[in-house]
Structure 1
Amino acid sequence: MLEKEPVKEAVALHCAVLTVSNTRGADDDTAGDLLCGALREAGHRLARRAIVADDVYQLRKAFSDAIADPEVQVVISAGGTGFARHNCVPEAVPVLFDQHIPGFGELFRQLSFADVGSAAIQSRCLAGIANGTLIFCLPGSERACRLAWDAILRPQLDSRVKPCNFAPHL
């Protein structure tokens, strides 16, 4: 008879949530609220939260500050990934990466296609690792953040998920 591997306790990761917007404030940041709630519900800790203007240099500063903070292991941003003229997350953030995670954007667009059809091609979401910190840049809609969380982030940030997850890399 095979013995079952004992269930390990989940590792609580320390996370930052950055909302990228030129118009949202603390009272109407629904995507940021969703991500913060989902992280807490999954047993993770919110180390910081901010709303950052969709400006290349302000974004690089906010992401760099989070990456340099030893209390932050994961950064999740919402917004700034579309094709509007002011959306600049895909131009601002990847230069900070030590490693890109191309499969994240590919998988998100595949899942999104089932939900929104060909509009999924307009998502420029991305992910990478910088200074040992995981970074996931999501679209700003609450619906897109829920899809990314449920289908990709929740399981990949859960140290108990087999065959692999991101927790050992932190």
Structure 2
Amino acid sequence: MNQNESLLPLKIAVLTVSDTRTEADDKSGKILVDNLTATGHLLAEKTIVPDNIYQIRAVISRWVADESVQVILTTGGTGVTGRDATPEAIKPLLDKEIEGFGEIFRMISYQEIKTSTIQSRTLAGVANGTYIFCLPGSSGACQTGWSIIKDQLDSRHRPCNLAQLIPRLTEN
């Protein structure tokens, strides 16, 4: 990391997917907001939607169409129950999937929760020049996910980072 450079702050939106959480008890969403702002990034918007493919897709589509939103972080809905629908909602919107994110997440998570990590359908990708990272709903998983994402969203991180690619994401 080049400490002589300034961080290029990114505008990041946070979506909590849950049938039961409210702003008052959304610990995972708060962790993501606290981490991104502590790092120097800007919160574009934060909202909560139920585990419903179409409500998830509506919010994500709106943010993906908003040129000022550069990154979207979601928490919740990545498990295997009938109500977990975040990957199904988001995958059709992606132009490219970033497979390595889920692989790294599960590798790190394995150190903490062993084989229970196979239940995580964490994913990441790019849609209309916007990065999207889908994390599980637990606060621990959000901390693990942020530990991976933070360096890649830091324009000073070397040898490379996702932040520096933002201007090129919509090239043909």
Bin of the TM-score, shorter chain as denominator length: over 0.9
Report the equivalent of 1:156.
Answer: 152
Report the equivalent of 2:22.
Answer: 25
Task: Write the mapping of 1:54-69 to structure 2, written as runs, cut at 5 A.
Answer: 54-69=51-66
Number of residue pairs aligned between Structure 1 and Structure 2: 165
DSSP 3-state at the match of 2:69: coil
DSSP 3-state at the match of 2:6: coil
Gaps of 5+ in 1: none
Cα pair 2:124 2:133 within 8 Å, conserved: yes
RMSD: 1.0
Q: Is 1:74 matched with 2:39?
A: no
Task: Write the mapping of 1:67-146 to structure 2, written as runs, cut at 5 A.
Answer: 67-146=64-143
1:165 to 161, 165, 168: 161
Question: 1:6 Cα deviation (Å)?
Answer: 7.5
TM-score by length of 1: 0.95
Cα pair 2:15 2:73 within 8 Å, conserved: yes
CA distance 1:6–1:37, change in 2 (3 Å): closer
Aligned amino acid, residue 159 of structure 1: S
Cα pair 2:36 2:43 within 8 Å, conserved: yes
Cα pair 2:64 2:130 within 8 Å, conserved: yes
- Counting aligned pairs with the same residue, the percent is 47
Report which of the two structures shows the higher radius of gyration computed on alpha carbons. Answer: 1
Cα pair 2:3 2:156 within 8 Å, conserved: no
Aligned amino acid, residue 153 of structure 1: I
TM-score by length of 2: 0.94
DSSP 3-state at the match of 1:80: coil
